[in-house]
Amino acid sequence: MLLIDLARTSAAVAADSARLAKIGHLAELLGRVKPDEAEIAIAYLSGELPQRQIGVGWASLKDLPQPRLAATATLHQVDDLLSRIKAQAGPGSQSARKTMVTELFASLTGPEQTFLSRLLRGELRQGALDGVMIEAIAKASGVPSAEVRRALTLRGWLPAVGAAALGGGVEALRAFRLEVGRPVSPMLAQSATSVTAALERLDGPAAIEWKIDGVRIQVHRSGDTVSVFTRTLDDITRQVPEVVEAIGALPSRDLVLDGEVIALREDGRPAPFQVTSGRVASRTDVDSARRTTPLSMFFFDALRVDGADLLDLPGAERQAALAANVPAELVTPRLVTDEATAGETFFADAVRSGHEGVVVKSLHSPYAAGRRGAGWIKVKPRHTLDLVVLAAEWGSGRREGWLSNLHLGARDPETGGFVMLGKTFKGLTDELLTWQTERFLALADGPTDSWTVTVRPELVVEIAFDGVQRSSRYPGGMALRFARVLRYRPDKTPDQADTVDTVRALMI
């Protein structure tokens, strides 16, 4: 199969807004792909690469060569070249990559260049990724989509699952099992504004657990071999020796656990997320990193214990297996209750202890990996500030033509000016985008370039956020975490906006 076939299908998928039509286009292509090309086709058309990443990003794709007129590149040719690009290493590798990318693109037509460039930048923008591809695979192979999802949960890599479905149907999919040492797709959580609201949704007693502000880990143990994976199934075993040792010391020699790893301060309170993140990312001198910033771990689920797969069991039973096989100090603190007041108290305690909040979990739901099922619901406290819009950036994609991304400032009583604390594009409806674009253009004042419009600091906007972090990027030395717009405050003037001192007091 040729790359142009995929490029054409992708363009057709993008052109139709109806999901069923997208599924139709994708299924049609999957119907004519050869078995040995299926993984590549599924990966590309769901926005992924068989190589996962190849060290090429937007900067390497800035100026592409002239396109050719004849489309001849096959999927295998492109895939081989991407593998060779990925394999470059050491001094000179970056320019070697760039040369190879240029050569590759010089052999492609315009539509192929557009498709591959978007794919490599991780911006396919065809309105179809894994979720739609699952349905397309189901349609093309005549298999229920639930079977595809189940296999994806266990295998964690859709191209492999899709190729199996196309080649061997339901039987091939049912052959996928939880394999110790190979990560499964992690279960994710929805969110609610309060424990009370979360409990109402679950109806009946539920487990409420601390939400630890660290890095998600999935730990596999088979005999003496321990492997640790992140939420995106990256292998970080070498970076977290504490986890390897702790798991290696347990009596059970066959385990798959789900949990969180975090750096705690000496007083036992959590270090800022930045500290944990930096520690987990450290690869070159793990020993010294470990001495200065030791990691602790909290497990909250057991997917396999001593030969028994637990994914399909109710939450309460998996929890019992966890408690029976992992010492209490390694288990996330939890409370089982159906009383809202008890739950809210537990939540308040978690937050007072420095944690992110809680996750409310159904006692009945299976480990529904990869789907944001209603089984887990996270609850976090929300801070708000009234800040001033300093500038706005033009949006892209469906936000093209709208001023989208806001620069936010807090009032500085010392100077009478404003100190930028970060940006946000979240929480804006199309109506609000239209309104603010018009308003900002009327307020435009100061340096303006092709993507930023500076405005007179006159608009006050109420911003929700999760916390204040240390920042080397912004002049105040702090930045908001997960900032989003709640509403504009036309009733407020900039001199009534919150001050940098208020923000500083919130920094941990």
Partner DNA sequence: TTCCGACAGTGGGGTCGCAAT
Partner DNA sequence: ATTGCGACCCCACTATCGGAA
User: What is the rounded distance in angstroms from the CA atom of residue 190 to the CA atom of residue 86?
Assistant: 36
Dihedral sign for Cα 461, 465, 467, 473, please.
Answer: negative
Tell me which stretch binds DNA (CB under 7 A): 241-249, 319-327, 397-405, 454-462.
397-405
**362 contributes a contact to DNA by CB under 7 A:** no
SS3 state at 229: strand
- Give me the DSSP letters along 375-420: TEEEE---EEEEEEEEEEEE--GGGTTSEEEEEEEEE-TTTSSEEE
Q: Is 418 annotated as a binding residue?
A: no
User: Quick one: DSSP state of residue 67?
Assistant: P
Task: Tell me whether residue 399 or residue 439 sits nearer to DNA (CB atom).
Answer: 399
CA distances from 113 to 103, 121, 241 (A): 12, 12, 43
- Give me the DSSP letters along 112-132: HHHHHHHHHHT---SS-SHHH
**185 contributes a contact to DNA by CB under 7 A:** no
Q: Which of 114, 425, 462, 506 binds DNA (CB under 7 A)?
A: 425
Binders of DNA among 18-47, rule CB under 7 A? 18-21, 47
Tell me which stretch binds DNA (CB under 7 A): 64-72, 342-350, 411-419, 467-475.
467-475
Binders of DNA among 117-136, rule CB under 7 A? 123-134
User: What is the rounded distance in angstroms from the CA atom of residue 134 to the CA atom of residue 256?
Assistant: 26
Q: Which of 424, 459, 467, 503 binds DNA (CB under 7 A)?
A: 424
**396 contributes a contact to DNA by CB under 7 A:** yes
Cα Dmax for the chain: 71
CA distances from 310 to 17, 49, 185, 286, 322 (A): 39, 31, 14, 33, 10
Contacts with DNA by CB under 7 A: the residue count is 91
CA distances from 470 to 226, 275, 293 (A): 34, 11, 18
379 Cβ contact partners less than 8 Å away, ≥ 6 residues apart: 191, 192, 193, 194, 195, 197, 198, 211, 347, 357, 358, 359, 360
Q: Is 300 annotated as a binding residue?
A: yes
User: What is the rounded distance in angstroms from the CA atom of residue 448 to the CA atom of residue 189?
Assistant: 41
Do 40 and 147 touch, CB atoms closer than 8 A? no
**57 contributes a contact to DNA by CB under 7 A:** yes
Binders of DNA among 207-226, rule CB under 7 A? 214-216
Q: Is 290 annotated as a binding residue?
A: no
User: What is the rounded distance in angstroms from the CA atom of residue 466 to the CA atom of residue 482?
Assistant: 6
Active site residue 211: yes
Min CB(298)–DNA separation in Å: 13
Binders of DNA among 325-354, rule CB under 7 A? none
Task: Tell me whether residue 321 or residue 476 sits nearer to DNA (CB atom).
Answer: 476
Min CB(403)–DNA separation in Å: 9
Binders of DNA among 478-507, rule CB under 7 A? 479-482, 484
Task: Tell me whether residue 321 or residue 365 sits nearer to DNA (CB atom).
Answer: 365
Backbone angles phi, psi at 338, to 5 degrees: -120, 10
DSSP H helical ranges for 68-157: 75-87, 93-106, 110-121, 130-141, 145-155
**151 contributes a contact to DNA by CB under 7 A:** no
Task: Tell me whether residue 200 or residue 501 sits nearer to DNA (CB atom).
Answer: 200
Min CB(59)–DNA separation in Å: 4
Binding-residue pattern over the window 268 to 297 for DNA, x denoting contact by CB under 7 A:
-----xx--xx-xxxxxx------------
Residue tagged active-site, from 211, 361, 380, 423: 211
Tell me which stretch binds DNA (CB under 7 A): 58-66, 169-177, 317-325, 436-444.
58-66
Q: Which of 91, 223, 307, 447 binds DNA (CB under 7 A)?
A: 91
Active site residues: 211
* Residues in binding site for ATP: 209, 216, 231, 260, 300, 372, 378
